[in-house]
Amino acid sequence: MDRPYFPARTFSFQKLSGPLGFDVYVKLGATKYAKIFAAGDILELERLSAYILKGTEHFYIPQEHQRAFIGAASGVLDQIAKSNGVYDSDAEQVLDEVTSSVLTDVFSQNVLNTESHKTLSTVISSYVDLAKRQPSVFPNLLKLARKQDAIYRHQVTTSIFSTLIARAYDPNNLDLIYATGYAALIHDIGISLLSLNHDEHAMNIDKNEIKKIRMHPNKGADFLRKINGMPPIIIATVLQHHEGFDGLGYPLNLKGDKIVLPARILHVADAFASHISGGRNAIALPPAMALHSLTLDRGHDPAVVTALAKLLKLG
């Protein structure tokens, strides 16, 4: 099996508490791993330190336990926030770890070519680095990662597919690729500014809650507008990411190419990512079926759906 274990830096383990939600391995050889803790164990710091002193830089988490690890890392972010009230380099490291863990999780679905994993990791990290340099963006990104880690995960996933679809759509247009990928990483940032009982992708939410949630594109765009130097295309993309190609989306009911291209790409990436992960549906769809359902949905730009088909080599 390809990449069955995800490397996690030893750093965040030292901050974990309570019973583990996942198994922990050390790497013994190219493909040999040994389990040092099992899910349910309490982490023994002494044993952990012994490995770190011996020069172990990573522990390994089996792929099926990655979501649990992401949840635990979000808990660490929460601890950091509570203990010193500010986000520091510790928080940045944990966020990086959560981000790369999501990447591995997406690649484990075998929809994408594994060769692009490394390149894409670099691209996504550069988006995260950009967010770190934008003082008010980063705390809100962290807030999502620690309070609503499903949304953070969703943003990273959408960013991955947005980057790839933008590249398939117009391979030499780096501005388009970068703007779409970055906007995707922060597109639901408006949710961190709403007081909600549920997240955007939850089931069984009442009417009032839906009304509130539908404010998140405006909230997000208003928030970004206040940031010095935020490119207008990023703001427009965040504002328009729920617009439909048929004019039936929200909040502005824009139609066709009145919607900025990165927002049309993000809309497809978002829908595809949730179809294949089973996000809003009970069951996860195979990529070909997910693509097919997008071709039938008039809310999506057919040219962008064609780019997705090209990317998946299903066109």
What is the x/- site pattern for Fe ion, positions 264-293, by CB under 5 A? ------x-----------------------
Question: With the C-alpha atoms ordered 140, 141, 146, 149, is the resulting torsion angle positive or negative?
Answer: positive
Taking the complex as a whole, the smallest distance from the CB of residue 270 to Fe ion amounts, in Å, to: 5
Q: Which is nearer to Fe ion, 62 or 279 (CB)?
A: 279
Residue 243 near Fe ion by CB under 5 A: no
**In the bound complex, what is the minimum distance in angstroms from residue 4's beta carbon to Fe ion?**
29
Residue numbers 4-63 binding Fe ion by CB under 5 A = none
105 binds Fe ion (CB under 5 A): no
If DSSP codes are grouped into helix, strand and coil, which group holds residue 285?
A: coil
Closer to Fe ion by Cβ: residue 74 or 162: 162
Note whether 97 binds Fe ion by CB under 5 A. no
To Fe ion, the closest distance from the beta carbon of 55 in angstroms equals 41
| DSSP reduced 3-state for 294 | helix
Distance in angstroms (rounded) separating the CA atoms of residues 279 and 273: 8
CB of 57: closest distance to Fe ion in angstroms? 34
Query: Residue 315 in contact with residue 309, Cβ under 8 Å?
Result: yes
Window contacting Fe ion (CB under 5 A); options: 104-112, 183-191, 294-302, 304-312 = 183-191
**Least Å distance between CB 83 and Fe ion?**
30
Nearest distance from C-beta of residue 219 to Fe ion, angstroms: 10
Q: Which is nearer to Fe ion, 33 or 250 (CB)?
A: 250
Specify the residue, 188 or 301, whose C-beta has the smaller distance to Fe ion.
188
SS3 of 226, please?
coil
Nearest Cα residue to 245 out of 169, 307, 299: 299
Helices marked H in the chain — which ranges?
10-13, 45-53, 66-84, 89-107, 116-132, 137-147, 149-169, 174-186, 207-213, 216-225, 232-240, 261-277, 287-296, 302-311
Taking CB under 5 A as the binding criterion, the range among 8-16, 185-193, 203-211, 304-312 that sits at the site for Fe ion is: 185-193
Closest approach of Fe ion to the CB of residue 281, in Å: 15
Task: Give the range of 54-62, 107-115, 188-196, 202-210 binding Fe ion by CB under 5 A.
Answer: 188-196
C-beta separation of 23 from 39 below 8 A? yes
The yes or no reply on residue 149 touching Fe ion (CB under 5 A) is no
Residue 46's contacts (CB-CB under 8 Å, 6 or more residues apart) are none
Q: DSSP characters for 91-108?
A: HHHHHHHHHHHHHHHHHT
Choosing from 188, 238, 271, 300, the residue that interacts with Fe ion (CB under 5 A) is 188
Between 36 and 265, CB nearer to Fe ion? 265
Q: What dihedral do alpha carbons 15, 21, 200, 197 form, nearest 10°?
A: -80
Residues that bind Fe ion (CB under 5 A): 188, 270
